[in-house]
Structure 1
């Protein structure tokens, strides 16, 4: 017998007993005030686990799935308030991206498909951690601070990844939405970027696209066909692409999308979820962090491969070189390829739009130099986190941003889009008109709301086809500096404070001076430290002219952190892996 019985949209644990449970009616969408009695009664069904504190960050909330029922209910509540305040559709995505399968998480999506506003991140943290007796006060306070009009209707869209826990947790979200009188549409199994796309479509009255999965497939595939129709379908870059789907939602959605794509684009999916566990020894994060090939993918030297992460918002490319070693093309390489392509098209079209690339301190120094000195585009560095990259990218007509981990996209200003689309229609010069038309198709191929592995993959594949580049020729644009990332356990990560987009340490005293002295001992060297956002560790990054020097520098900086920033446990050893 099941340990759960279904009550409308609620599941109540009954420890194996089948007992009748009476719940208060869920308020109608026309309710003008919050029914705190109903909220309290429903919150008891989604009780806050004792001793668990969660903080909303760039990735939303993430932890063990078993501890998230209460969090999901609260995020349903918060999504309704955010929808009422913005008078727009808000998204709720149930996912933990590249985390292990036993984890889960949730993130809210703002009206244009962007990350949740920072002030609402604080509200989310406060609401999730409030005790039951504090719930009424916290909800009332949010409404007061954000001037929420309770009479305003609210509409939420929901999506989830393929984790075993995701369906039940999404039901907890709908309980929170319903008890505050919100309306919702559940898209079910979708990639995170697809839900971001849906939110943007709904809030732009369909101008951005049709708010269905089919509409997503049609928009991207049509743009891909238009962009690549003049290429040589038998070129070297037209060899089949092998895709590691991380045993996640990307495998399902690529299979659905395949009939929409042209037959000359051949892809083979691996790690599709039929055998392995989500993100286990595969996926973009595994390949990037461990510098290893994913399991379950058969490949030969020179074959073009890529890896998605669990919810298909990150992508990295790779191949096997002649020595059977991994050749990784990460977010920096992707940003370089795309920005070079856009710069060439802008020049051909005679457009004077501003183009910039946004990076974090983790971007490889070689990529920064190549972009500045060879491509001749401005490069700006911001704090780690997609929201910082996205915000900075919006300052330019065209902003290209990718984290080194493979999460990124391109953002076009409204004015830039209008100029490009008008030129594609009205330009008399055939060469300029063709360049403008290619820019227009590129705009339609890119998911501007958020990093999207499927969209980014199609952009990369289109550029490689248009340039007739092999993956080796793409990789040869510049050579990455060897680098190493380590982490040091400390008693309190807050002793580390940084400036200059996290590239220099302000506290503790003497640490930055020590890092400066160490970097001077090596050629082409750079190092920085930054505190983790979730645990008491300090992350160390170092790069230099050789791998041995990068490893030595990372180790020496780790020792400096250990001694000056309150390291705990044994001092860092020379073992770097």
Structure 2
């Protein structure tokens, strides 16, 4: 069945343009509410959001949708996506909703859904939702309409949960940490966790105004974090994205460290402690070949999936692995969480730093990356990858790389972009083929 509404990470788009409208959010609430009506107990949904202005509109519409089909609503306000997943499970809700467009600008928004186990909905459930969205909702009788309440202690619950994932024997005393919360969902919890663990905290991106989420801050714009680390003489910098499920790090010199390096560090540490499951890390096709070689040196494997943390998590659950993620900084530690959590990943990096008693610049660079280049080509419609001219260039590139390199060319699941990535030991070869493929895609869309 083709997907009309759901992409790689829920429903996402420009606010007040289909499908991200109040009318659509009402329908999502009704459809998801009907999906949750299993069993004869009183049903409940947990709804969280990031700091976008449009979150108020979508929250109200979802609230109306859920209550209209007989589901009680618990509002938790601005909270990280992984916190909403955790709360859905711990509060025994039937479904959880996060209103966020993650790292996208404030004009965009999205709706992510979690099942009662805290995991994102299965493909089967999303397909059923697609069907329900186009069907007439079954409204509750007047005396069965859902009730709404707001929970005020969720901040404390998540802070306690996050701190519990940090080793009891360790503290962050004497460590200066810059944390950039992207003016997003983690602004009121992430700095508190670090401070309570003993760190000297320099907070950035903690003054959301509804329109400044991800604006020149956070994991997609890390320059502010890098500059602050150098300016304040900090030991490390952590940057989250708008819904705090992604982490990017810089060392004490302001040098960037991506998700591949962090996964290597965390996996090695867990392997040494006998905590790594499955003898492998699960990552996507975008992860660097250097990560694969690094893990192999210590007896670990790398299992690759399609892009998207839902695909990573699906493989982790299938194979029994407990470390996985994406180069972009979505890191899933399934012993603690059911989805990517930037703060929890950051705490594991900090624990390794405390134990090693080494500067971040020495510890965090676990391998030398293979030359890799990613470029995006925007398109207006159609399928440029189906054009014969594009196919021929791709075939020529694959033949030229042979076994010494890789190509990953795909449509973005959240934006009208073709993503072209190549990597190999010869950087000039990588650049040449990425440029040629991008040019062929542009000509096919002209």
Please, what TM-score do these two structures have when normalized by structure 1? 0.60
Q: State the partner residue of 1:356.
A: 280
Give the distance between the partners of 1:218 and 1:184, measured in 2 at CA.
Answer: 23
Q: State the partner residue of 2:320.
A: 397
Provide Cα deviations, 1:359-411, integer angstroms capped at 9, x if missing partner. 11110111111112x22112111111111100000123333111111012122
Judged with a 3 Å threshold, the aligned counterparts in structure 2 of structure 1 residues 400 and 352 are, in CA distance, closer, same or farther, namely closer
Q: State the partner residue of 1:541.
A: 421
Give the distance between the partners of 1:187 and 1:539, measured in 2 at CA.
Answer: 35
Q: State the partner residue of 1:315.
A: 247
| SS of residue paired to 1:215 | helix
Judged with a 3 Å threshold, the aligned counterparts in structure 2 of structure 1 residues 518 and 558 are, in CA distance, closer, same or farther, namely farther
Deviation of 1:252 (Å): 1.4
Provide Cα deviations, 1:454-492, integer angstroms capped at 9, x if missing partner. 111111111221222321122332112232211335575
Q: State the partner residue of 1:378.
A: 301
Q: State the partner residue of 2:364.
A: 475
Deviation of 1:562 (Å): 4.9
Give the distance between the partners of 1:155 and 1:510, measured in 2 at CA.
Answer: 53
Question: Contact 2:47/2:76 (CA < 8 Å) preserved in 1?
Answer: yes
Match of 2:26 among 33, 51, 73: 73
> 2:171 matched to 1:239?
no
Q: Which runs of 5 or more residues in structure 1 are unaligned?
A: 1-52, 88-150, 412-442, 498-504, 570-577
Provide Cα deviations, 1:523-545, integer angstroms capped at 9, x if missing partner. 95332211233555421002234
| SS of residue paired to 2:238 | strand
> 2:56 matched to 1:167?
yes
Deviation of 1:449 (Å): 1.1
Deviation of 1:493 (Å): 5.1
Provide Cα deviations, 1:540-559, integer angstroms capped at 9, x if missing partner. 00223465543223112323
Judged with a 3 Å threshold, the aligned counterparts in structure 2 of structure 1 residues 405 and 476 are, in CA distance, closer, same or farther, namely closer
Deviation of 1:176 (Å): 0.4
Deviation of 1:352 (Å): 9.4
Give the distance between the partners of 1:343 and 1:400, measured in 2 at CA.
Answer: 11
Q: State the partner residue of 2:91.
A: 202
Match of 2:214 among 279, 284, 287: 279
| SS of residue paired to 2:230 | coil
Deviation of 1:72 (Å): 1.5
Provide Cα deviations, 1:142-195, integer angstroms capped at 9, x if missing partner. xxxxxxxxx664211111111122123211111001111111211122111111
Deviation of 1:244 (Å): 1.3
Deviation of 1:302 (Å): 7.6
Deviation of 1:496 (Å): 3.4
Judged with a 3 Å threshold, the aligned counterparts in structure 2 of structure 1 residues 548 and 516 are, in CA distance, closer, same or farther, namely closer
Backbone CA RMSD of aligned residues: 3.4
Q: State the partner residue of 1:104.
A: none
Q: State the partner residue of 2:144.
A: none
| Greater relative CO (CA pairs within 8 A, separation 6+) | 2
Match of 2:269 among 336, 341, 358: 341
Provide Cα deviations, 1:26-70, integer angstroms capped at 9, x if missing partner. xxxxxxxxxxxxxxxxxxxxxxxxxxx972123222223234211
Question: Contact 2:290/2:370 (CA < 8 Å) preserved in 1?
Answer: yes
Q: State the partner residue of 2:101.
A: none
Judged with a 3 Å threshold, the aligned counterparts in structure 2 of structure 1 residues 506 and 269 are, in CA distance, closer, same or farther, namely farther
Q: State the partner residue of 2:228.
A: 297
Provide Cα deviations, 1:505-532, integer angstroms capped at 9, x if missing partner. 9997545421223435xx9533221123
| SS of residue paired to 1:277 | coil
Count of matched residue pairs: 385
> 2:436 matched to 1:559?
no
| SS of residue paired to 1:299 | helix
Judged with a 3 Å threshold, the aligned counterparts in structure 2 of structure 1 residues 255 and 365 are, in CA distance, closer, same or farther, namely closer
Q: State the partner residue of 2:292.
A: 368
Please, what TM-score do these two structures have when normalized by structure 2? 0.76
Q: State the partner residue of 1:484.
A: 373
**Which protein shows a greater Rg?**
1
> 2:176 matched to 1:226?
no
- The aligned runs of 1:175-186 (5 Å cut-off) are 175-186=64-75
Question: Contact 1:247/1:278 (CA < 8 Å) preserved in 2?
Answer: yes
Deviation of 1:313 (Å): 0.8
Judged with a 3 Å threshold, the aligned counterparts in structure 2 of structure 1 residues 227 and 57 are, in CA distance, closer, same or farther, namely farther
Question: Contact 1:518/1:557 (CA < 8 Å) preserved in 2?
Answer: no
Question: Contact 2:375/2:434 (CA < 8 Å) preserved in 1?
Answer: yes
Give the distance between the partners of 2:85 and 2:29, measured in 1 at CA.
Answer: 17
Give the distance between the partners of 1:216 and 1:59, measured in 2 at CA.
Answer: 23
| SS of residue paired to 1:486 | strand
Judged with a 3 Å threshold, the aligned counterparts in structure 2 of structure 1 residues 201 and 302 are, in CA distance, closer, same or farther, namely closer
Give the distance between the partners of 1:491 and 1:187, measured in 2 at CA.
Answer: 38
